Structure 1
Amino acid sequence: MKPNEPTASEAFWQFSLSFYCLNGVEQALLMLQDTYGLDINCLLYAYWHGSSGRGAIGKLEWQALQASIGGLGDHVGELRALRKEAKLLAIPAYYQALKDAELAGEKAIQQRLAQQARQINKQSDRLAAIQKSLTAYLEMAHRVMPPATTQLLEALAQQAVQMDGAG
């Protein structure tokens, strides 16, 4: 790694923040989470890993990644549920504390995922890598998506590749 080059964890986190802010991405990812129970961090990891030239993630790798996350994902999910309930209570400081804790948990999950990231391969077919990674993730998670949702996942993959090429 070069002196000013970010670590994989930093690069993944920055990608996630930038990608999430793109038009329509936040809404799409939240719908995938709320409707299909997909893990946004895993989706972001697939998009980042592939778009950055690190290649595809196979089903066995996804299983190892899930194991590396351990119970942290469940705890973050519990914080998310509490945060959503707290919003209704209209106590801004309580809501913000839960939101901060949830974000810290999300970042910890991403750090664990990024520890497994491969080195960049400049010849990698980035879009194909993302598509293979998503397919393996959905198989590992035992999820079958309707065609419209599959098209949404593919559109997000194209945005990730375009974003990486622009940055």
Structure 2
Amino acid sequence: MCQGAHDATNRWDNPFWLYSLEQYKQPGCADFLLNAQDQYHLDINILLFIGWLSTQHKLFQPSASMDEIHNWQINNIRPIRQLRQRIKLLTKGPFYEACKQLELTGEQAQQALLFQVSKDWPTSRLSGYEVFESSIKRYLGEAKIINKEGWLQALYQHLQP
């Protein structure tokens, strides 16, 4: 295998991806994040990214690169998810499973892009929770969900190793 291919593989199985797999399987985490996605139209990968960034003491930094990554979610992952959800109503056979795997691969590609963007971000002297809170506010802006009783703390609990 050439070095370039090896590096590309390593980017896909990066620390952020491994963190996400671990957190997502924790009790209640998947349901909480899926609810945030369905009810508030939030990007689960960005929520996981902010959780991972807080463990690295790095602040979320919206940028032009983040816009491109957001477009990846909208133009690639969402259509696959919508197809998978339509198929789920009909069958949970091999075609459904293939769509589910394709969606997961798209999510992993988005996470690889996020990981690459964050590699050179500086670390902060803030505590993990302060980094998390500041980053979530940057992502959500002034969204009312931040003020929903206990939501931010519950999200933080689900995203901490």
**Mean CA deviation greater in 39-48 or 82-91:** 82-91
Secondary structure of 1:115's aligned partner: helix
Equivalent residue for 2:94?
A: 93
Cα pair 1:131 1:154 within 8 Å, conserved: no
C-alpha distance in 2, partners of 1:35/1:87? 20
Give the length in aligned residue pairs: 150
Match of 1:36 among 37, 40, 45: 40
- Which residue identity does 2:139 align to in structure 1? Y
Query: Structure 1's 120 and 92: CA in aligned 2 closer, same or farther, altered over 3 A?
Result: farther
C-alpha distance in 2, partners of 1:41/1:17? 11
Cα pair 1:56 1:133 within 8 Å, conserved: yes
Query: Structure 1's 9 and 123: CA in aligned 2 closer, same or farther, altered over 3 A?
Result: farther
C-alpha distance in 2, partners of 1:145/1:86? 31
Structure-2-length-normalised TM-score: 0.81
Unaligned runs of 5+ in 1: 1-5
Equivalent residue for 1:50?
A: 54
Offset of residue 132 of structure 1:
0.5
Deviations 1:78-114 (A, max 9, x none): 1111101111111511101111110110001001111
Cα pair 1:12 1:45 within 8 Å, conserved: yes
Cα pair 2:59 2:131 within 8 Å, conserved: yes
C-alpha distance in 2, partners of 1:64/1:102? 24
Equivalent residue for 2:159?
A: 160
Does 2:86 correspond to 1:102?
no
Offset of residue 123 of structure 1:
5.0
Equivalent residue for 2:144?
A: 144
Cα pair 2:65 2:117 within 8 Å, conserved: yes
Offset of residue 23 of structure 1:
1.1
Match of 2:129 among 127, 130, 133: 127
Unaligned runs of 5+ in 2: 1-9
**CA RMSD of the aligned region, Å?**
2.4
Q: Percent identity over the alignment?
A: 29
- Which residue identity does 1:152 align to in structure 2? W
Equivalent residue for 1:3?
A: none
Secondary structure of 2:35's aligned partner: helix
Cα pair 1:13 1:110 within 8 Å, conserved: yes
Query: Structure 1's 77 and 7: CA in aligned 2 closer, same or farther, altered over 3 A?
Result: closer
